Structure 1
């Protein structure tokens, strides 16, 4: 496998950020030259590909993910695969390059409806509906994500993230807490008990901003299960309505009550991992990229001893799934039939003959019924994967657009805005993005 050096960041103008999303997501693929990919044959996983060169685009946090499986694919087929690192912000950089006609054969991509729409999937991606590896998935995971308008465009390779609570077992035990919380309110009450005992209950990484939204989204889990995002997509419910605004108010109230680390305005993702491992904080609301950071700091034995995980929602222990770009791959419609077939073959290999190699190398949970988890996968990561079965979709998974809620919440933490203003800003951006995608309910 060849790994390309990171290309210089592109100068991205505002007009270029959403070129793909401005097209109708239901538009025809007839003029792409690759619109019949759904009916195309899937080559055998190890068919000869001598002389074939493929390119995979990856982000800075996913560019090492394919190393072992790609090396095995090259050896088995004779193909040459280059992994090219695209500069952060990854999604914007990819969209900009695709808008200019520059396409890889495969790319890591968030397999949610909003992000597939942003990439203009019907024009730019190969449908993957007939993929032979689909029968390998655990039934509860096969159709969890990766589809837009009933067409499958993304191949899930790793367990999608589930927003939930990572906790320090030793801190809870030392303070007489022997059972994990069974609802959001129960978790808050546990936090108040810890606060009274002189323990910092929760951690927030306001300096890096992106995790602020998890506190709102876990509070929306029950509403999401009842169709909240369908209502928001239809412009029947707004982020300024109580169902959403109240969750922002609650989050702000917990911060004002001192339930978070004192440096919540400036603390970083790195700080968060250090604090939980050290027992300086009891609980962290996060996704599985956080656990990846913990794995870089401690071995499995230490993690199993110290770190646990539970999903959380207002009514119980229901997780909120939010697949990210490191969880899935898309195959581009490049107009080159041979390259498109080779890209499908790599996906087929990755999720069939190459999958045991992949999960062993990544020390990650298996998504397939016939491939067991490798030895050494931490218990918390297994618990998070188990939460997927009855999880609900996040804003990123179920909304037609993905506004910058986390940025507006981070501004609120800094004291720059109020919960009401956060809701108004989020709704205004959501409506703008929905109109750009041609969502009828938002036509002016």
Structure 2
């Protein structure tokens, strides 16, 4: 599957759009009514026959431009099995910005890809606009991590069709061998990761890490890894305005990235202008030893190299601030939501489409897409790279990135980009994050803001 950049933090423009839309229309069609309205799907649904005939029924599904083909297999199979028609419609980039704008104007699809995280799902006002999906038979089949996604205020609004991206370290096996490193020396914590970086740089003579300041969005990951010791109480406090992004732990994480990685010469020389695609090339060619990134990096490798080639050259290991656990990061293709359209027949058909996708068609879907299964009872396809299998193994114990914990995901990467160009100090980066977080949380009507 060709994924968009996973866990993309909420854009400044999105914050302003939703602030305006909330004030005018609560980010929804004013005819939508509240979450307690009648009609199919407004309460936990009865059993759905995934292959019941739907001749003459037409559904629309919104996707991002670069994921228009992602639901193709299931759409084709569903149309053949039921007689329905499902039209995938690409929303222009930036997807996360344009979807709320279209919804605020009253336009809406029957189904839509949407990031199923607590920081992004609320932007489509699920209690007003979406069908609740509690009690659907596929919900109980999800893995533990996937069960935690797609839920707002205790109600499930998103079907989880793909596993969240996993954040960890991709490394070049040849470079590690040249440096005399083995799996026994993989780090158990971020401090050990930096120490490993010095070892590989000194012994192999290449950059320890490749950083993508030109594309900006990957800059967030080294800070993310260092926030995993903040417990759930801290995140609950942040979400109620009792804790702040200016907490010393956050400032310390940013400072460590600036001074002990970038300032210590562990990144490639052009880290300010490096790109995401450049990171894959540099790692493949042994010009950098490691890249800390999410599953979209895996997709980049698989687009250019065979599984056998990847297995020979690239490895992967998880790491967090004080142990060897990975992090999971929801993205736009993980979740599918169904809208309240006021048309009971289409709402039922949308629920049936999800039941088909995660029911009789699911083994064929993941086989066609060559992606891991979100259902433990359904085996993942054969032929996945070892790096992908390692990520799948790490997922059950992975910690969530801040997009999965904070009610707003600020544009951390933009402020970090300012820092690497000398425009902000770590303390000023943290303050910018806090200011945007509080602004959007207040616009959302979050308690305490």
TM-score normalised to structure 2 length: 0.91
Query: Post-superposition shift, 1:440?
Result: 2.2
Aligned length: 428
Structure 1 equivalent of residue 235 of structure 2 = 229
Structure 2 equivalent of residue 165 of structure 1 = 169
Query: Post-superposition shift, 1:334?
Result: 1.0
Structure 1 equivalent of residue 83 of structure 2 = 78
CA contact (8 A) 2:22 2:444 kept: yes
Query: Post-superposition shift, 1:136?
Result: 2.5
Q: Does 1:364 align with 2:383?
A: no
Q: Does 1:58 align with 2:63?
A: yes
CA contact (8 A) 1:21 1:117 kept: no
Query: Post-superposition shift, 1:191?
Result: 0.2
Structure 2 equivalent of residue 195 of structure 1 = 201
Structure 1 equivalent of residue 44 of structure 2 = 39
C-alpha distance in 2 between matches for 1:272 and 1:369: 32
Q: Does 1:136 align with 2:141?
A: yes
Q: Does 1:125 align with 2:130?
A: yes
CA contact (8 A) 1:20 1:118 kept: no
Query: Post-superposition shift, 1:423?
Result: 0.7
1:345-374 Cα shifts (integer Å, max 9, x gaps): 111100011101111111111121332111
CA contact (8 A) 1:161 1:321 kept: yes
What are structure 2's unaligned runs of at least 5 residues? 1-12
**Per the alignment, in what secondary structure is the counterpart of residue 309 of structure 1?**
strand
C-alpha distance in 1 between matches for 2:110 and 2:412: 32
Trace 1:93-108 onto structure 2 (pairs within 5 A). 93-108=98-113
**Per the alignment, in what secondary structure is the counterpart of residue 439 of structure 1?**
coil
What are structure 1's unaligned runs of at least 5 residues? 1-11
Structure 2 equivalent of residue 352 of structure 1 = 359
Query: Post-superposition shift, 1:141?
Result: 3.4
C-alpha distance in 2 between matches for 1:200 and 1:263: 11
Query: Post-superposition shift, 1:43?
Result: 2.6
C-alpha distance in 1 between matches for 2:103 and 2:60: 14
Aligned-residue Cα RMSD (Å) equals: 2.0
For the structure 1 residues 142 and 415, does the alpha-carbon distance in structure 2 shift closer, same or farther, using more than 3 Å as the test?
closer
Query: Post-superposition shift, 1:66?
Result: 0.8
Q: Does 1:400 align with 2:393?
A: no
TM-score normalised to structure 1 length: 0.92
Q: Does 1:186 align with 2:192?
A: yes
Q: Does 1:287 align with 2:291?
A: no
Trace 1:8-47 onto structure 2 (pairs within 5 A). 16-19=17-20, 23=26, 29-30=34-35, 34=39, 37-47=42-52
Q: Does 1:244 align with 2:245?
A: no
1:106-129 Cα shifts (integer Å, max 9, x gaps): 111000112111111101111111
